[in-house]
A = this chain, B = another copy of it.
């Protein structure tokens, strides 16, 4: 790769995806590929290391679509179903080398993964082909290759949730916060000077555990990044209708979008 950091949006949809099963709204019936949203996830590539942030139910399909062949670790934001149920599909990245996949997550998120996928964590069934997770509880900054990841705790209903700040060479290149209702003061401080902010903007109408367009726009105004990308949309958001309404420097992410920093 020619860039230092490359992010591919594997998915930009909310928990039930877009289109939703059984929905006939204009977005769910749209033929615009930007309106077809797998569950939110990004794939991060650097010269030294590649990892995914969240493995929702679409993870296998997302990897095939994006041609993902290398996975050195998995990082989780939180343990809601749309971010974790694809966990077992990580097994394809531990074959044939049979290496243990580092799983970076808040201890509460790891506890859910360990409960849901007990067969992978319980020390039995260690035969070839089974996923061998190596739990890496997050208690502060950590490193994947030369990238520093800082967990950004956010409020998102009852579940412990992190966004992540990605820094290389002392530069705050990007922050990824796909699920949040409110950013804590420490998180707002950590975002100061970030180049690119990727943030939850579920829909226009209020939601008890997700940021709306207006709420996220207010955060963008305070943080003042070079550019901001909204993500994690319901079908209330039709790409071609909504994007033109946004201020300069704020865009809507879509599945397959690639961002690069050099």
Q: Name A's B-contacting residues (CB within 8 A).
A: 16-17, 19-22, 57-61, 63-64, 68-69, 81, 85-86, 88-89, 91-93, 95, 115-118
Find the residue from A61, A81, A88, A116 having the highest chain B CB count within 10 A: A81
Q: Please tell me which one of the listed residues B16, B57, B64, B118 contacts residue A21 in the complex, with CB atoms under 8 A apart.
A: B64
> Whole-angstrom distance between the alpha carbons of A147 and B88 in the complex?
34
A124 shortest CB reach to chain B, Å = 9
- Do the beta carbons of A93 and B22 come within 8 Å of each other? yes
- Tallying the copies of this chain within the complex gives 2
Q: How far is the CA of A59 from the CA of B17 in the complex (A)?
A: 12
Contact status A68-B21, CB under 8 Å? yes
* Closest residue on chain B to residue A85 by CB atoms: B85
A55 to B240: give the CA distance in the assembly, Å.
33
- In whole angstroms, how far apart are the Cα atoms of A64 and B20 in the complex? 8
Q: Which of A60, A69, A91 has the most CB of B within 10 A?
A: A60
> In angstroms, how far is the closest chain B Cβ from the Cβ of A113?
11
Name the residue on B nearest A82 (C-beta). B88
Return chain B residues, CB-CB under 8 Å to A20.
92
- Chain B: CB-nearest residue to A19: B64
Complex CA distance for A19 and B63, rounded to whole angstroms: 11
Whether A63 touches B115, Cβ cut-off 8 Å, given contacts A86-B85, A88-B81, is no
Residues of chain B within 8 A of A17, CB atoms compared = 60
